[in-house]
Structure 1
């Protein structure tokens, strides 16, 4: 055989082998369902090596002391006495607009009713209990109903920069009987580890699936081996992991951030820009044009990169300035509530209660928990591969999704069903954004009732 022919055979063989390896790599990384990793269900996260068997559940109360308020006043005076930098234009394109921040600052300084808000935050019962070495805080509300009304346990999971406070308008709706439904909810709303009143670990590795285990153990501590889950933002990831790891315990999963985070789902989204309506159907405008959506996500994800790489640096900076912390949190709330808020001076403040927003700022400030909350981003980045593995393992738990109009990511049901094959349905609304509990408590609560009714009927 001529040497050219031999070279062609060799090159063809090499190409065939490389193509085969590429297809195998693609199949292994995108298509196959991986084995469920083994996890420690009692891993110790406490600050020491001793393991006291304290299983008590202790009452707790939110406190805004006079000393806390005086400290804030001193810092407020320092901020007010300095020359503030004015924004360059009539939008939030450079971040929080100075006029909007001034409005929030003035409200916090002169109109925020400290004593009234403490009473409000304590209107439900608070508790703490030690789970795997950490004191975990939670709100627990039991409904008062007739015997013919079923009471179903549900855990509501927040994200960042949220807290248990986001659900305070949702709780009364979920615990009140309504026509057409023979059930109400016993509501448990925890603070995630390192957030607000829940203790932070001093050890590395506290990512969303480890928190999922803690939340499951919390529900068992309270006395529930079977329960429902609702979550958004990080609460979605934690709830999803709970449904995957403990499918025999979770009765149903409701999410207001219905997303399949697998690599294949992201790949389909990118390729789908060629045929948007085929991929996205009637809601393709919420997914495309791709360039516009990617531009928005890139512009608004800088905080995630910073928190995912240097959380302590930004955390220390924020924790030493109440106004700086308010500005940072305000930027996320406004931009994720509606992307068009960036184009105005008010930034959407006219559509949301400043007092409600400041409740969350106060909770992060007085608990000195901003830095420890940001570490969850770092841990999620570091443990990305395991997060991906769990994201590719289908869960048999009945699932329901609520899509708000301005949610960060939109995916059609057929993509969601790769991860959630028992997806019984989704609700798509023309209102609301990423923080459904705070923005649209009535719509969120209504959809939870709708979802659980579907779960019970199947």
Structure 2
């Protein structure tokens, strides 16, 4: 027994020593890469029409008629196994409920009015037409600063997630001397933002496109917020443009699983206090449970990172197939325990109308295939070769950790990459789709984080 304990100590000591040496020379010490603005439109090169044009969603009746016909012609579903909820994917017994609601109660005509309720525009950036919401505060009192905030979505979400969230940011609060002006673009290839016909538009290139968008909109500096892909894109923007991004807020706060991070996590599996505070141990330990869960829940990622066009054919042809594929994530990623329920807990946090708004956003724009290509491009050698996993984030950073997020890391790991951690909030409830599920909680944390960032800006520098 004594020798076994000594062996454990030696293994841990060696791991920490190797990690410390590796960290000294390689961990988040590289300068950001130079990523030039590229042309993503048709042809080799061209000139973008940078005019900002008002935009209204106006889907032709024939597209909705075709949708209704497809929903009416759905073949009988394969029954689920006995006693099974969402463990095998979307439970087809509950899928019947979704189908009937979609056919008989969901009104695209009404929802289109709702989706047009926020001001939105298009402009061309690097040859692509980019669609974005742009919501300004209605009125401000004297002395109140209007702060631009870039809001970036992920997959299988969209800007539709933000409709209840944005007004909480653009409405002035008593006692605050600032308010937000929100710019929420759709990622190229998502919804009404044009997809490229060229390979290579990865997360870093999207960051460059959005940096160019903000430049064209005349914002010299701004704050940024994101979850899912939005967290990665805004993080990359903070790495590339630290002179423009005044502060970053993410509700999915992850760090690249490089050698040093893995060594720390492995060391913590023996001595958790080396890595995690007591209330954080449940996030990552035991590692076997974490890795098993991640393998179980990331099959979609491997598929989309390798063969997005293949699965895209099936999803673009079947609206109910698209709904099942997308909405299953709104069950499992909201709370993993919902997988045990026959209805996947689908309506515990969301209503079907708003969930179908998001599905429709992909269906009427035929953008499911082009949205999934972002995975393939971002897991490519070209993207990995940029070395962004070795670049620190030095701008003020705030993290909102929701308890049911897919992956939550300890503060000590987060601080390895995000050198200027201003705040870290453990939220009382919520999962991956925080802006849609918990808009008030998320908005409260954004306000508090930016308030701290502004206070720190005004402090005299030592």
TM-score, reference length from structure 2 = 0.90
Go from structure 1 to structure 2 and tell me whether the alpha carbon gap of 1:31 and 1:141 turns closer, same or farther (over 3 Å shift): closer
Q: CA deviation at 1:414?
A: 2.1
What pairs up with 1:249-328 in 2 under 5 angstroms?
Answer: 249-263=244-258, 264-281=260-277, 282-328=279-325
Go from structure 1 to structure 2 and tell me whether the alpha carbon gap of 1:269 and 1:136 turns closer, same or farther (over 3 Å shift): same
Q: CA deviation at 1:179?
A: 2.6
Aligned length: 434
CA distance in 1: counterparts of 2:331 and 2:382, whole angstroms: 28
Q: CA deviation at 1:26?
A: 5.0
Match of 2:440 in 1: 442
Match of 1:83 in 2: 76
Q: Secondary structure at the match of 1:407?
A: coil
CA distance in 1: counterparts of 2:270 and 2:21, whole angstroms: 24
The question of whether the paired residues in 2 share the 8 Å contact of 1:417 and 1:423 is answered with yes
CA distance in 2: counterparts of 1:426 and 1:387, whole angstroms: 30
The question of whether the paired residues in 2 share the 8 Å contact of 1:159 and 1:234 is answered with yes
Match of 2:12 in 1: none
CA distance in 2: counterparts of 1:64 and 1:444, whole angstroms: 32
Go from structure 1 to structure 2 and tell me whether the alpha carbon gap of 1:112 and 1:53 turns closer, same or farther (over 3 Å shift): closer
The question of whether the paired residues in 1 share the 8 Å contact of 2:72 and 2:103 is answered with no
The question of whether the paired residues in 2 share the 8 Å contact of 1:64 and 1:114 is answered with no
Match of 2:30 in 1: 34
CA distance in 2: counterparts of 1:257 and 1:270, whole angstroms: 22
CA distance in 1: counterparts of 2:224 and 2:436, whole angstroms: 18
Match of 1:116 in 2: 110
Residue number among 320, 325, 330 corresponding to 2:327 in the alignment: 330
The question of whether the paired residues in 2 share the 8 Å contact of 1:227 and 1:252 is answered with yes
What pairs up with 1:159-174 in 2 under 5 angstroms?
Answer: 159-174=154-169
Which of 415-424 and 321-330 deviates more?
415-424
CA distance in 1: counterparts of 2:412 and 2:436, whole angstroms: 29
What pairs up with 1:147-186 in 2 under 5 angstroms?
Answer: 147-186=142-181
Match of 1:8 in 2: none
Q: Deviations over 1:354-383 (max 9, x none)?
A: 111101100100100000000010011114
Go from structure 1 to structure 2 and tell me whether the alpha carbon gap of 1:294 and 1:448 turns closer, same or farther (over 3 Å shift): same
The question of whether the paired residues in 2 share the 8 Å contact of 1:262 and 1:388 is answered with no
Go from structure 1 to structure 2 and tell me whether the alpha carbon gap of 1:202 and 1:404 turns closer, same or farther (over 3 Å shift): same
Go from structure 1 to structure 2 and tell me whether the alpha carbon gap of 1:32 and 1:331 turns closer, same or farther (over 3 Å shift): closer
CA distance in 2: counterparts of 1:231 and 1:252, whole angstroms: 12
Match of 1:128 in 2: 122
Q: Secondary structure at the match of 1:99?
A: helix
Gaps of 5+ in 1: 1-21
CA distance in 2: counterparts of 1:35 and 1:250, whole angstroms: 17
Go from structure 1 to structure 2 and tell me whether the alpha carbon gap of 1:71 and 1:238 turns closer, same or farther (over 3 Å shift): same
Q: Secondary structure at the match of 2:131?
A: strand
Q: Secondary structure at the match of 2:252?
A: coil
Which has the higher Rg, Structure 1 or Structure 2?
A: 1
Go from structure 1 to structure 2 and tell me whether the alpha carbon gap of 1:118 and 1:292 turns closer, same or farther (over 3 Å shift): same
TM-score, reference length from structure 1 = 0.91
Q: Superposition RMSD on alpha carbons, in Å?
A: 1.9
CA distance in 2: counterparts of 1:456 and 1:142, whole angstroms: 20
CA distance in 2: counterparts of 1:28 and 1:183, whole angstroms: 40
CA distance in 2: counterparts of 1:139 and 1:278, whole angstroms: 44
CA distance in 2: counterparts of 1:212 and 1:193, whole angstroms: 11
Match of 2:192 in 1: 197
CA distance in 1: counterparts of 2:222 and 2:20, whole angstroms: 40
Q: Secondary structure at the match of 1:408?
A: coil
Q: Deviations over 1:389-440 (max 9, x none)?
A: 2132112210000000111111222221121111111110131111111111
Residue number among 425, 429, 432 corresponding to 2:430 in the alignment: 432
